[in-house]
Amino acid sequence: MAIDRTLVDILEETADALSTFDFGKLNALEQRIVLLAESNTKVPRDGIGVALQRKRQLEIILKNCQINLDALNRLHARNMRNQWAQ
């Protein structure tokens, strides 16, 4: 039970850190997830549901971040072209 709760906590904290652009927190969470992965501890099947929901939520957030970043890059490139054209 503790391992699945830890995983859910990490996923929730990651979503929060992404929403506030807290890169220090994201780095700390990365270290926590690396340690968790290195422990080779298995999550029981009956406790994986909430973790999978959080994972899907995080995937959606990351996809939206990528879409927004791509849009910002296109706007920046267009702005740079316009400055050169003037």
Condensed to tens digits (0 to 9), the pLDDT of residues 20-56 reads 889 999 999 999 999 988 988 877 777 788 889 999 9
- 3-state secondary structure (DSSP) of residue 73: helix
pLDDT surpassing 70 at residue 85: no
Reference 3, options 50, 59, 41, 34; nearest CA is 41
Q: Is 20 helix (H, G, I), strand (E, B) or coil?
A: coil
Q: Report the share of the chain in percent with pLDDT over 90.
A: 53
| pLDDT recorded at residue 31 | 96
Three-state SS at 10: helix
For range 65-83, the mean pLDDT: 90
